[in-house]
Amino acid sequence: MKTTTRIKQQFLKALKCGTGEAYLILKNNPEINFSDQIIKGALNIYAYDGQSEGDRAQYIFDIISISKQKDKIRKAVLQGLATEQNDTWNLTHLFALTKLYAQQNDSEAKQAIYDRFLNHPIEGSDWVGESEIVELDGLDGLFYVSEKYGRYIEQNPDDWQDGSVIRHFQEEHMDINVYEVLNDRARSNKYIRIYLDNIEQTKAIREKHKKEPVHYEDIVDEVLTSKPSISVRRKRNLTENEVNQIAERLIEETDKSAIERLLDIFNSYRFPYNSNIMLNFAKQKRTHKNSMVDNAISALKYLKSQSIREFALDKVQTTKNPIDFLEILISNYKSGDAKLLSEIANKTNSEYKIEQLAGIYTDIYKANQTKECKEPLEILYSKMNCAIHRNGIVKILIENGVLSDKIREEIKYDCDSDTRALSEKK
Q: What is the DSSP string of 108-146?
A: HHHHHHHHHTTSSPPTT-TTTTHHHHHHHHHHHHHHHHH
Separation between Cα atoms, residue 300 and residue 328, nearest integer Å: 6
- Asked if residue 40 belongs to a domain, the reply is yes
- Asked if residue 328 belongs to a domain, the reply is no
Q: Are residues 205 and 229 in the same domain?
A: no
Which residue, among 74, 67, 80, 70, has the nearest Cα to 32 in the 3D structure? 67
The CA-based angle 119-121-127, given to 5 degrees, is 105
Decide: residue 398, CB within 10 A, 0-12 exposed, 13-18 middle, 19+ buried: middle
Q: Are residues 284 and 364 in the same domain?
A: no
What 3-state DSSP class applies to 254?
A: coil
Q: How far is CA 276 from CA 263, 270, 307, in A?
A: 14, 13, 8
Compute how many other C-beta atoms are within 10 angstroms of the C-beta atom of residue 63. 26
- Asked if residue 318 belongs to a domain, the reply is no
Mark which of 210, 226, 244 sits at the end of a domain.
Answer: 210
What's residue 288's pLDDT?
82
- Asked if residue 52 belongs to a domain, the reply is yes
pLDDT by residue, tens only, the chain of 426 residues:
579 999 999 999 999 999 999 999 999 999 999 999 999 999 999 999 988 898 999 999 999 999 999 999 999 999 999 999 999 999 999 999 999 999 999 999 999 999 999 999 999 999 999 999 999 999 999 999 999 999 999 999 999 999 999 999 999 999 999 999 999 999 999 999 999 999 999 999 988 888 788 889 999 999 999 988 888 899 999 999 999 999 999 999 999 999 999 999 999 999 999 999 999 999 999 888 789 999 999 999 999 999 999 999 999 999 989 999 999 999 999 999 999 999 999 999 999 999 999 999 999 999 999 999 999 999 999 999 999 999 999 999 999 999 999 999 999 999 999 999 998 876
Q: Please give the model's pTM, rounded to 2 decimal places.
A: 0.89
Q: For 44, left (φ over 0), alpha (ψ -120 to 50), or beta?
A: beta
Greatest extent of the chain over all pairs of C-alpha atoms, in Å: 75
Compute how many other C-beta atoms are within 10 angstroms of the C-beta atom of residue 137. 17
- Asked if residue 288 belongs to a domain, the reply is yes
Which residue, among 184, 117, 177, 116, has the nearest Cα to 149 in the 3D structure? 117
- Asked if residue 407 belongs to a domain, the reply is yes
Which residue, among 367, 356, 357, 253, has the nearest Cα to 304 in the 3D structure? 367
Helices 3-17 and 21-28, packing angle to 10 deg: 150
Q: Are residues 61 and 171 in the same domain?
A: no
Buried b (16+ CB within 10 A) or exposed e, 235-252: beebeeebbebbbebbee
- Asked if residue 185 belongs to a domain, the reply is yes
- Asked if residue 77 belongs to a domain, the reply is yes
Separation between Cα atoms, residue 200 and residue 218, nearest integer Å: 38
Q: Are residues 220 and 158 in the same domain?
A: no
Separation between Cα atoms, residue 347 and residue 149, nearest integer Å: 50
Q: How many CA atoms lie within 13 A of 274 on its CB side?
A: 6
Q: Are residues 358 and 393 in the same domain?
A: yes
Q: Are residues 250 and 194 in the same domain?
A: no
Residue 175: domain span: 129-210
Residue 316, C-beta contacts closer than 8 angstroms, at least 6 positions apart: 322, 325, 326, 340, 344
Mark which of 89, 116, 143 sits at the end of a domain.
Answer: 116
Q: Are residues 196 and 230 in the same domain?
A: no
Please state the domain count of the chain: 4
Q: Are residues 153 and 137 in the same domain?
A: yes
Separation between Cα atoms, residue 383 and residue 396, nearest integer Å: 17
Residue 170, C-beta contacts closer than 8 angstroms, at least 6 positions apart: 176, 178, 179
